[in-house]
Amino acid sequence: MSEQPVLRVVTPDATPEEIAALVAVFSAMGSAAAPAKKPVAAWASHQRRLRPAHPHGPGGWRASGQSR
C-alpha cells in the first residue's frame, strides 16, 4: 500500500518557513480535543428539585413520615 502525501506544494517559490507554517496550522486544526464536561455541584443538580419517591404498599403511610 503506497501512501500519498497529505500536503502537496504546487507553487515552486514557497519557502521552507511558509511550508512549516502551513503544516503547523493544519496539524493544530486536526488535534482539537472535545471539551471536558464540568462536574455539576450538588446544590445546582436538577435532582435536588425533584420530589422524593413516596413509599407505597402496606405500611407506606408509616414510612412516609420517617426521615431518610
Give the domain ranges of the chain: 7-32
pLDDT digit string, tens, across residues 4-63: 877 777 878 888 898 899 888 888 877 667 777 888 777 777 776 676 676 677 877 777
- Please give the pLDDT value at position 21: 92
- Please give the pLDDT value at position 59: 76
CA distance 1 to 20: 27
- Please give the pLDDT value at position 1: 54
Provide the greatest CA pair distance for the chain.
87
CA distance 6 to 59: 72
SS3 category, 41:
coil
- Please give the pLDDT value at position 68: 58
- Please give the pLDDT value at position 67: 64
